[in-house]
């Protein structure tokens, strides 16, 4: 099921991106 695998990978990447964006926002002076 490559579709499911790619979907879960995209979800994980979106989660990592959201965490990075949140960290950047919290680290702003």
Structural domain boundaries in the chain = 1-29
pLDDT at position 2, please?
Answer: 80
Q: How far does Cα 25 stand from its chain's mean position?
A: 15
pTM above 0.85, yes or no: no
Q: 26 falls in which pLDDT band (50, 70, 90)?
A: confident
> Rounded to whole angstroms, what are the CA distances from 6 to 20, 21, 28?
21, 22, 33
pLDDT at position 6, please?
Answer: 92
> Rounded to whole angstroms, what are the CA distances from 16 to 1, 2, 5, 10, 29?
23, 21, 17, 10, 22
CA angle 10, 13, 17 (to 5 degrees): 135
């Amino acid at each position: 099921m490559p579709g499911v695998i790619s979907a879960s990978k995209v979800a994980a990447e979106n989660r990592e991106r959201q965490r990075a964006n949140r960290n950047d926002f919290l680290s702003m002076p």
